Structure 1
Amino acid sequence: MELTILDEIKNQLFPLQKEEMELLEESILKEGIREPLIVWNNNGKQILVDGHNRYEIARKHNLSFTTITKEFADIDEAIDWINKNQLGRRNLTDEQRKYLIGKIYNQQKKKHGGNRGNQYAGKISEVAKCNFCTLPNTENTKKETAEKLSDTTKYSPRTIKNCGDFAEAVEKVKEISPVAAQKILQGEIKDAITALPQITRKEPEKLPEVVKKIEQGSQKVKEAVKEIRKEEEIKKAEIVTLPPVIDIRHGDFREVLKDIKEVDAIITDPPYPAEYLYLWEDLGKFAKEKLKEGGYLVAYTGQYHLLEVLSMLSKSIDYVWTFCLYHEGQTQIVNGINVMCRWKPVLIFQKGKTKFTRTIQDYIVSEQREKDGHDWQQSMSGVKKFIELFTDVSDTVCDPFTGSGTTAEACKQLKRKFVGAEIDEETYKIAVGRVGVNI
Structure 2
Amino acid sequence: MIDKKDKISKEYFVNITPLSKIVIGDCLEKMKLLPDRSIDLIITDPPYNLGLFMKNRGTNIKGMRDNHFAFSGWDDLDFASWSIQMELFLQECHRILKKRGSLIIFMSIIKVETIINLAVKNKLYYKTVGIWHKTNPMPRNMNLHFVNSTESWLYFINDATTGVFNNRGKVIHDFVESSTINISERKYGRHPTQKPLTLICHFIDLLSNEGDIVLDPFMGSGTTGVGCEVLNRQFYGIELDENYYSIASDRLKAKK
Q: Secondary structure at the match of 2:219?
A: coil
Q: Secondary structure at the match of 1:341?
A: coil
What is the TM-score normalised by the length of structure 1?
A: 0.42
Q: Secondary structure at the match of 2:22?
A: strand
Task: Show the 5 A alignment for 1:316-327.
Answer: 316=122, 317-327=124-134
Q: Secondary structure at the match of 1:307?
A: helix
Q: Residue 133 of structure 1 corresponds to which residue in structure 2? A: none
Q: Residue 3 of structure 2 corresponds to which residue in structure 1? A: 238
What is the TM-score normalised by the length of structure 2?
A: 0.71
1:289–1:368 distance in 2 versus 1, CA, 3 Å: same
How many percent identity over aligned positions? 27
8 A contact 2:39–2:213 mirrored in 1: yes
Tell me the CA shift for residue 251 of structure 1.
Answer: 0.2
Q: Residue 94 of structure 2 corresponds to which residue in structure 1? A: 288
Q: Secondary structure at the match of 2:202?
A: helix
Give the residue type in structure 1 aligned to 2:90. Answer: G
Matched, 1:351 2:158: yes
1:361–1:332 distance in 2 versus 1, CA, 3 Å: same
Matched, 1:249 2:23: yes
Q: Residue 368 of structure 1 corresponds to which residue in structure 2? A: 180
Q: Residue 151 of structure 1 corresponds to which residue in structure 2? A: none
1:433–1:311 distance in 2 versus 1, CA, 3 Å: same
8 A contact 1:269–1:299 mirrored in 2: yes
Q: Which moved more, 1:253-262 or 1:357-366?
A: 357-366
Unaligned runs of 5+ in 1: 1-234
Aligned length: 200
Task: Show the 5 A alignment for 1:143-292.
Answer: 235=1, 237-238=2-3, 242-261=16-35, 262-274=38-50, 275=77, 276-292=82-98
Task: Show the 5 A alignment for 1:127-146.
Answer: none
8 A contact 2:100–2:162 mirrored in 1: no
Structure with the bigger RCO (C-alpha within 8 Å, sep 6+) is 2
Matched, 1:433 2:230: no
Matched, 1:315 2:121: yes
Q: Residue 330 of structure 1 corresponds to which residue in structure 2? A: 137
8 A contact 1:395–1:416 mirrored in 2: yes
Matched, 1:418 2:235: yes
Q: Residue 387 of structure 1 corresponds to which residue in structure 2? A: 204
Unaligned runs of 5+ in 2: 7-14, 51-76
Tell me the CA shift for residue 339 of structure 1.
Answer: 4.6
1:332–1:321 distance in 2 versus 1, CA, 3 Å: farther
Matched, 1:303 2:109: yes
Q: Residue 30 of structure 1 corresponds to which residue in structure 2? A: none
Larger radius of gyration: 1
Higher helix residue share: 1
Tell me the CA shift for residue 299 of structure 1.
Answer: 0.4
